[in-house]
């Protein structure tokens, strides 16, 4: 069964304190690993797609990396506005076009 697991469930950081969020997956025939940011009361906002092991993508203070079994979202010197829930999702090529989402990591950055 395809599965995406995120850890930790919640993370509290001080402003400027760098850390990483983990997304491990068992998705057969992965066609893309997606990261989204979700603010309270809003829909998920697309951040990155990673296609193959070793790939990295960056956007401001965020950097996403991918291995054969997991992905990391590194947050460097976070600011309070980075507080959100970060969702990871695996896209499959098993004939099923939808994404398998993890439950997310709720990040709170305190000033």
Secondary structure class of 85 (helix, strand, coil): strand
What's the CA dihedral at 29, 101, 47, 73 to 10 degrees?
-90
Is residue 78 part of the contact set for another protein (CB under 8 A)? Answer: no
Query: What is the dihedral sign for C-alpha 56, 76, 107, 42?
Result: negative
Is residue 49 part of the contact set for another protein (CB under 8 A)? Answer: yes
**Residue from 34, 62, 78, 107 that binds another protein (CB under 8 A)?**
34
Is residue 40 part of the contact set for another protein (CB under 8 A)? Answer: no
**Residue from 17, 28, 51, 56 that binds another protein (CB under 8 A)?**
51
């Amino acid at each position: 069964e395809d599965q995406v697991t995120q850890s930790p469930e919640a993370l509290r950081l001080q402003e400027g304190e760098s850390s990483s969020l983990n997304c491990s997956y068992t998705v057969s025939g992965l066609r893309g690993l997606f990261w989204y940011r979700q603010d309270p009361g809003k829909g998920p906002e697309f951040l990155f797609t990673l296609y193959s092991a070793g790939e990295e993508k960056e956007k401001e203070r965020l950097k996403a990396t991918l291995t054969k079994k997991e992905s990391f979202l590194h947050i460097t010197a976070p600011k309070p506005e980075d507080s959100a829930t970060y969702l990871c999702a695996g896209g499959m090529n098993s004939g099923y076009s939808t994404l398998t989402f993890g439950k997310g990591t709720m990040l709170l950055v305190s000033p």
